[in-house]
A and B are shown apart, each in its own frame.
Chain A
Amino acid sequence: MTPLGRAGAADRPRTGGPRRRRVRGTAPLPLLLPALIGLVFLVLPLLALLLRAPWRSMPDLLTSSEVWQALRLSLVCATAATAVSLVIGVPLAWLLARVEFPGRGLVRALVTLPLVLPPVVGGVALLMALGRNGVVGRWLDSWFGITLPFTTTGVVLAEAFVAMPFLVISVEGTLRAADPRYEEAATTLGASRFTAFRRVTLPLVAPGIAAGAVLAWARALGEFGATITFAGNFPGRTQTMPLAVYLALQNDPQAAVALSLVLLAVSIAVLAGLRDRWMTAS
């Protein structure tokens, strides 16, 4: 039998639980050494880019309207592609994580396929599906007069095609880790499965979705192969920064380096900003 306790003292807040401690002291060498090599390996090329950058011609480049046009287009398209990925990718992740259906493993493999597909092949595949003469595209063209290649929409689609798997994988992982009993609790309170998803699951996995969205956004921002193949390259319409960089590389490598730095700086600024805003909030 349990001893009797005092009422007040018994109601101890359980806010913290055991707080997680940071690893202190010296990190073991077998971990530290490869970690440092890894860091150098990732940072060195970027550093080289900085060292070799044509700092003198930077002001001219940064005031060129074509650079701003490409940068603006890149940001708009990457953001739109992320939005598209969120709208259709999160439900897809939910399906994969929460609904048992035959062939789920196969579907998951198919979803991740764009990850391993060379982006240029992805672009060709998109042309074959959604191009003017594509499997679906020809009907879009003849019924609605919509053609996607060579348009900004095409850029968004190409970027979403390549970037969405990152989001789906990330969100599916978070959903799997999330306790499905919260959804059950919501249904016992009268929530339909959709309401439970919207009002309970979605807020619970928000950090995972945010991480996935950032990953997808970053991938979309740097997308080159599928974009140039599917959407072509036209300044202001489909020429995103990576395309501008690639084409500059053809005859002016210095300009290409400068453009890359602009793209890097902007993405670092955005990612760092997002991280401070809501990645650490959870």
Chain B
Amino acid sequence: MTDDRRTTDDRRATDDRRTTGTDTPRRPGGPGSGAGLDARLVVERGSFRLDVALTAAPGDVVALLGPNGAGKTTALRALAGLVPLSGGHLRLDGAELDRTPPESRPVGVVFQDYLLFPHLSALDNVAFGPRCRGVRKAEARAQAAVWLDRMGLAEHAAAKPRRLSGGQAQRVALARALATHPRLLLLDEPLAALDARTRLDVRAQLRRHLADFEAVALLVTHDPLDAMVLADRLVVMENGRVVQEGTPSHIARHPRTDYIAQLVGLNLYRGRAEGHTVRLEDGPEITTTEDLTGPVFVAFPPGAVTLHRQRPGGSSARNVWRCEVAGLETHGDQIRADLTGELPLAADLTTVAAAELDLRPGPTVWATVKAAQTHASRA
């Protein structure tokens, strides 16, 4: 499988390892600017201690990513006011929320299994928030109808939650949360309750809705693909702490820990598909096995990338890009190469292979990926 033209420079690669400690939030959202989220959440519960700082500007979609028990959901519940803070602070659009009870926070939550009120119709579920905030019944229902319509659920307005499919229920839950016009939208594992096929579809819809959302959206997920597709910034958590923060592609190419390298090992691109060809926004094309039209995501793991010193001639791979090695990082017995050029990407190779290729920052390499190892899904 691996290429034969690799050379040795293990040390070099090690020397060049990035120190990613300087990763900073992409956008400002600090105390000075006012708008958006500025929080340091400290929650102590027995031996567990959560201590995370989160900032986000309006329009941001932030994903809290981490393994089970990392404290993601606790952080989300603390933001919603369902768990009291043991310390830190919480400001949203400049207003202190630390002591505000959940019902008074301009925060909307989409719960993991949606928690649609089973005794109310989809419409009344969505109208519940406005009703609680003092809107008259008829008016609240009219607003709810608009939201459901926006979610493409107008015909299901009268349906009780148990009559809705998973995807429909998810959209009702989203509409319900949005109907209160929150300044912070929290989504707890928004896709976890869906089966694999529904998931892709719902993810694409959710992405559009989140893109339209003008305030801060924060989602909690353990699925890196969901996080990378849905969010423009990832916050990776382990044991109640933030271990890395940055854009999905940055984290994919510069994972700070072995765990992150394993977790966020994905090259992800957005483009427009025409049949088996996906044209990326700036330039190159990727050939995939899926037959799609319109905006899509294409993803492949770093392990699917093969590097060559010379442009491969007879390679069966349809995807060939010219790249430069920007950095090398060792993770266990793997080396992750950060490549720039035609297509910025991350590639994993064994230390032996890297040595054989004489891989070091600077020189040009050729990266190939088989169409069968890419994966495209509608955006």
* Whether chain A touches chain B in the assembled complex (some CB pair under 8 Å): yes
Chain A residues with Cβ below 8 Å from B165 are: 11-14
Q: Within 8 Å of chain A (Cβ to Cβ): is B225?
A: yes
User: Which 9 interchain pairs have the tightest Cβ spacing?
Assistant: A5-B197, A190-B132, A189-B129, A10-B197, A185-B115, A203-B119, A10-B198, A188-B109, A187-B102
Residue of A nearest to B105 (CB): A188
Known: A5-B197, A6-B197, A188-B109. 20 other contacts (CB 8 A): A1-B225, A1-B375, A2-B375, A4-B200, A11-B166, A11-B201, A13-B164, A13-B165, A14-B166, A181-B111, A182-B115, A184-B82, A188-B80, A188-B105, A188-B107, A189-B108, A189-B177, A189-B180, A199-B128, A200-B117
A192 CA to B131 CA, complexed, in Å:
12
With both chains docked as a complex, state the minimum distance between the C-beta of A190 and any C-beta of chain B, in angstroms.
Answer: 4
Q: Within 8 Å of chain B (Cβ to Cβ): is A9?
A: yes
User: Are the CB atoms of A185 and B101 closer together than 8 Å?
Assistant: no
- Category for how many chain B residues contact A: 35 or more
Q: Within 8 Å of chain B (Cβ to Cβ): is A124?
A: no
A181 CA to B112 CA, complexed, in Å:
11
Chain B residues with Cβ below 8 Å from A7 are: 201
- Residues of A in contact (CB 8 Å), total 33
Residue of B nearest to A196 (CB): B103
Q: Within 8 Å of chain B (Cβ to Cβ): is A58?
A: no
Residues 195-223 of chain A: 1 if any B CB is under 8 Å from the residue's CB, otherwise 0?
A: 10001100110100000000000000000
Please judge, given known A-B contacts A181-B111, A189-B180, whether A15 and B162 are in contact too, CB under 8 Å: yes
Q: List 7 A-B contacts (CB under 8 A).
A: A2-B199, A4-B376, A7-B201, A187-B101, A188-B102, A188-B108, A189-B129
Residue of A nearest to B133 (CB): A190
With both chains docked as a complex, state the minimum distance between the C-beta of B371 and any C-beta of chain A, in angstroms.
Answer: 14
Chain B residues with Cβ below 8 Å from A203 are: 117, 119-120
Within 8 A of A (CB), among B336-379: 375-378
User: Are the CB atoms of A5 and B80 closer together than 8 Å?
Assistant: no
From the candidates A1, A182, A195, name the one contacting B299 in the complex (CB within 8 A).
A1
User: Are the CB atoms of A186 and B128 closer together than 8 Å?
Assistant: yes
Q: Within 8 Å of chain A (Cβ to Cβ): is B238?
A: no
A203 CA to B160 CA, complexed, in Å:
14
A282 CA to B129 CA, complexed, in Å:
25
A2 CA to B377 CA, complexed, in Å:
9
Q: Within 8 Å of chain B (Cβ to Cβ): is A191?
A: yes
Q: Within 8 Å of chain A (Cβ to Cβ): is B163?
A: yes
Q: Within 8 Å of chain B (Cβ to Cβ): is A3?
A: yes
From the candidates B115, B167, B199, name the one contacting A181 in the complex (CB within 8 A).
B115
Please judge, given known A-B contacts A4-B290, A15-B163, whether A189 and B132 are in contact too, CB under 8 Å: yes
Chain B residues with Cβ below 8 Å from A200 are: 117
Could you list which residues of chain A lie within 8 angstroms of chain B, going by C-beta atoms?
1-7, 9-15, 179, 181-182, 184-193, 195, 199-200, 203-204, 206
User: Are the CB atoms of B101 and A3 closer together than 8 Å?
Assistant: no
Residues 141-185 of chain B: 1 if any A CB is under 8 Å from the residue's CB, otherwise 0?
A: 000000000000000000000111111110000001100100000
User: Are the CB atoms of A9 and B197 closer together than 8 Å?
Assistant: yes
User: Are the CB atoms of A191 and B200 closer together than 8 Å?
Assistant: no
Please report whether the interface of chain B is mostly helix, strand, loop or mixed according to DSSP: mixed
Q: Within 8 Å of chain A (Cβ to Cβ): is B118?
A: yes
Residue of A nearest to B163 (CB): A15
User: Are the CB atoms of A182 and B196 closer together than 8 Å?
Assistant: no
Chain A residues with Cβ below 8 Å from B80 are: 184, 188
With both chains docked as a complex, state the minimum distance between the C-beta of B103 and any C-beta of chain A, in angstroms.
Answer: 5
A167 CA to B36 CA, complexed, in Å:
49
With both chains docked as a complex, state the minimum distance between the C-beta of A199 and any C-beta of chain B, in angstroms.
Answer: 7
Chain A residues with Cβ below 8 Å from B199 are: 2, 10
A1 CA to B266 CA, complexed, in Å:
10
A203 CA to B201 CA, complexed, in Å:
33
User: Are the CB atoms of A204 and B119 closer together than 8 Å?
Assistant: yes
Chain B residues with Cβ below 8 Å from A12 are: 165-166, 195, 198
User: Are the CB atoms of B115 and A10 closer together than 8 Å?
Assistant: no
From the candidates A10, A182, A189, name the one contacting B176 in the complex (CB within 8 A).
A189
Residue of A nearest to B173 (CB): A185
With both chains docked as a complex, state the minimum distance between the C-beta of A191 and any C-beta of chain B, in angstroms.
Answer: 4
Chain A residues with Cβ below 8 Å from B378 are: 4
With both chains docked as a complex, state the minimum distance between the C-beta of A108 and any C-beta of chain B, in angstroms.
Answer: 26
Chain B residues with Cβ below 8 Å from A6 are: 197
With both chains docked as a complex, state the minimum distance between the C-beta of B136 and any C-beta of chain A, in angstroms.
Answer: 15
Residue of B nearest to A13 (CB): B165
Chain A residues with Cβ below 8 Å from B115 are: 179, 181-182, 184-185
User: Are the CB atoms of B111 and A10 closer together than 8 Å?
Assistant: no
Chain B residues with Cβ below 8 Å from A191 are: 103, 128, 132
With both chains docked as a complex, state the minimum distance between the C-beta of A6 and any C-beta of chain B, in angstroms.
Answer: 7
A186 CA to B111 CA, complexed, in Å:
11
A200 CA to B177 CA, complexed, in Å:
16
User: Are the CB atoms of B132 and A195 closer together than 8 Å?
Assistant: yes
Within 8 A of A (CB), among B180-220: 180, 195-201
User: Are the CB atoms of A189 and B200 closer together than 8 Å?
Assistant: no
Residues 94-113 of chain B: 1 if any A CB is under 8 Å from the residue's CB, otherwise 0?
A: 00000001111101110100
Chain B residues with Cβ below 8 Å from A199 are: 128
A185 CA to B115 CA, complexed, in Å:
7
From the candidates A5, A185, A190, A195, name the one contacting B111 in the complex (CB within 8 A).
A185
From the candidates A179, A188, A192, name the one contacting B82 in the complex (CB within 8 A).
A188
